[in-house]
Amino acid sequence: MELGRKLLERYGLTHSKRLGQHFLFDRGILERIARCAMPLSEDRIVIEVGPGPCGLTAAILEICKPRRLYCVEKDVSFEKLHRDFAADHPGKLEFIYGDALDIRPQSLTSNQNFSIIANLPYNVGTKLLTNWILDPVGIGKMTLMFQKEVANRINAAIGTKAYGRLSVISQLFCEIERLFDVPAGAFYPMPKVDSTVINLVPKRTELTTDDINRLQNLTENCFQKRRKMIHTILKSKYPEPVIKETLAQCNITPTMRPEEITPSQFLRLVRHIFRDLALIKN
């Protein structure tokens, strides 16, 4: 930690709360995250979001040995540190400055099987994950650190309090492996909460963009009213006979609440309402 603080000092860097800057300097933890990202695909292309002072970047280079590592950072005050770091790793690294929310990973590489590795900033972690899950072309595997509460939601079991829209979307579109927790005290500055590292591997699906958009709308609508019965939620949008037919087709009891409906039942629901019954309305 002391060495990390000195590094920031040397470059006149502080830390921004707004950018979710809680840095990791513990080599053991950083190397463990990098090991969880192994094996890389044959082409060994990695994208890191938010390299900051390059602790995780160094571990990725050492453990994963990528052919090329693209690093997307919003905070340009790291530029000098990044330039010096890149000089020690010629031909391996490219730093891109901008908001990861606006940069599709696919625009950085034409490679069709790359990995994303990141200690994600808390404030945009969920949004970034949703973007990647719903636009997964080329993403082979994601090794990501989230605040523990978000990791719990991603991986939540049906019927639990944490089960919601993020769980449905993540579990429908990815194989998820929860790896390990990192205590708040391991970060500088120390956040209020612990973190968790997880692996997500996008599944091959035959969903259309329309299916995906509709699924997003439906789950958003349902989990905003998570204590209501599914029949009541749908009643505000669709005619009674459609609801009855749809729920029966999907093996969903009308009195079930959103938190009791499995991810695949949500998908069937979307397909049945919009595709089979051709009720084109979001």
Residue numbers of the site for ligand SAM (CB under 6 A)? 19-24, 49-52, 55-56, 72-75, 99-101, 119, 121, 124
Distance of CA 59 to the CA centre of its chain: 20
**Least Cβ distance, residue 186 to ligand SAM (angstroms):** 10
For ligand SAM, which is the closer residue by CB, 21 or 219? 21
Q: Where do the H-state alpha helices sit in the chain?
A: 2-10, 27-36, 55-59, 79-87, 125-134, 148-154, 165-173, 209-224, 230-235, 240-249, 263-270
CA 236 to chain centre: 32
- Distance between CA 157 and CA 168 in Å, rounded? 10
Q: Whose Cβ is closer to ligand SAM: residue 31's or residue 75's?
A: 75
- Judged by beta carbon, residue 62 or residue 175, the one nearer ligand SAM is 62
Report the nearest approach of ligand SAM to the CB of residue 165 (Å). 21
User: Counting Cβ atoms within 10 Å, is residue 179 exposed (0-12), middle (13-18) or buried (19+)?
Assistant: middle
Nearer to ligand SAM, 121 or 263 (CB): 121
For the CB of residue 248, give the shortest distance to ligand SAM in the complex, in Å: 44
Contacts of 248 (CB under 8 A, 6+ apart): none
Tell me the closest approach of the beta carbon of residue 99 to ligand SAM, in angstroms.
4
Q: Which is nearer to ligand SAM, 145 or 174 (CB)?
A: 145
Taking the complex as a whole, the smallest distance from the CB of residue 38 to ligand SAM amounts, in Å, to 18
Alpha carbons 54 and 270: distance in angstroms, whole number: 43
Closest residue to ligand SAM: CB criterion: 50
